[in-house]
Amino acid sequence: MKDLFAKAETLTEALPYIKRTWGKTVVIKYGGSAMTDPLLRESVASDIVLMKLVGINPVIVHGGGPAINEYMNKLSMPIEFHEGLRITDDEAMEVVKMVLVGKVNKQLVTAINAHGRLAVGIAGDDANLISARQVSEKLGRVGEVTSIDTTVITKLVEDGFVPVIATVGVGEDGGSYNINADNVAGEIAAALGAEKLIFLTDVDGLYRDFADKSSLISSLSLAQAEEMMMSESLSRGMIPKIGACAKALRGGVGRAHLLNGILPHALLLEVYTDAGVGTMLTQSGEAAAPGLSSAFEGGA
């Protein structure tokens, strides 16, 4: 009987959050082990479905570096990076697009659609969603975002679907470009005016000292985040995530979060509980009730 009461209390705790998040857009950058582990993928997919069914409009953005490496190894293709970015010639771009659009995207779409007719997979070059330009000749077909056209995302959301976006952009030459998924997530969140941007990673959040697990930062301001970037105190993997969070916040997104996707139901814990998890970034750094932003105050 106590277990039943505990479940009822959990539902009661979630109620105000459900009311306040109804109709809000949340961009989720899907990555880390949650992408490669089938059981974690199913768990994340079920969380996304629950969020959708209780009124949130999730928009999913993903890359797929490990899967790309796996296929390039199978094809005996060279894997080269320069300053953290994959050198992508025309042949490599074919593999990148095949893996991101044809495998990784479809895996997540299938996991979500196991719960109903909910998700639609698209690439950033569909309907010119993501326009890009070449970063450098040395990197080949690696691009950076020049603009986001949210038309296709908005149409899918209006029709009740969850857009699942593979981060391939289109250049002025009509060709495809490989773009960092963290950066794309920040750009899309800003373009949509999303309420939240959530990164699923393999760590609990942002640390002042990664070797000291007690130094987890629960919340920080945009200014503090940018100061950390300037001081070069961030790890190489965290730099694009914090940069994307900063881009989103400057673009009007309410809050950005770094969550550990290995933690069961991390998305639900952040959005629908009083405690919250991970690291939260806001314009001011003020820690109001976790999971809520100023736009939620006063209800739906």
CATH of the domain at 269: 3.40.1160.10
Dihedral of the CA atoms 297, 156, 177, 146 (nearest 10)?
-50
Residue 11 located in a structural domain: no
Residue-wise pLDDT for 122-165, tens only, equals 999 999 999 999 999 999 999 999 999 999 999 999 999 999 99
Backbone angles phi and psi of 162, in degrees to 5: -100, 110
- pLDDT more than 70, % of the chain: 90
Total number of domains in the chain: 1
Which range marks the domain in which residue 39 is found? 23-207+238-285
User: Which stretches within the chain are classed as H helix?
Assistant: 2-21, 33-36, 38-53, 65-74, 90-99, 105-113, 151-158, 181-192, 222-230, 239-250, 266-272
For residues 49 and 118, give the distance between their C-alpha atoms in angstroms, rounded to a whole number: 8
Residue showing tokens 């030459």:
173
- Residue 3: what pLDDT? 66
Q: Helix (H, G, I), strand (E, B), or coil: what is residue 185?
A: helix
pTM of the model: 0.89
Residue 165 located in a structural domain: yes
Residue 297 located in a structural domain: no
Residues of the chain with pLDDT under 50: 288-300
CA distances to 34, 36, 60, 61, 271 from 108, in Å: 10, 10, 9, 11, 21
Residue 218 located in a structural domain: no
H/E element holding 58?
A: strand 57-62
Residue 232 located in a structural domain: no
Residue 127 located in a structural domain: yes
Residue 215 located in a structural domain: no
Residue 45 located in a structural domain: yes
Q: How far is CA 6 from the centre of its chain?
A: 31
For residues 87 and 64, give the distance between their C-alpha atoms in angstroms, rounded to a whole number: 15
- Residue 289: what pLDDT? 36
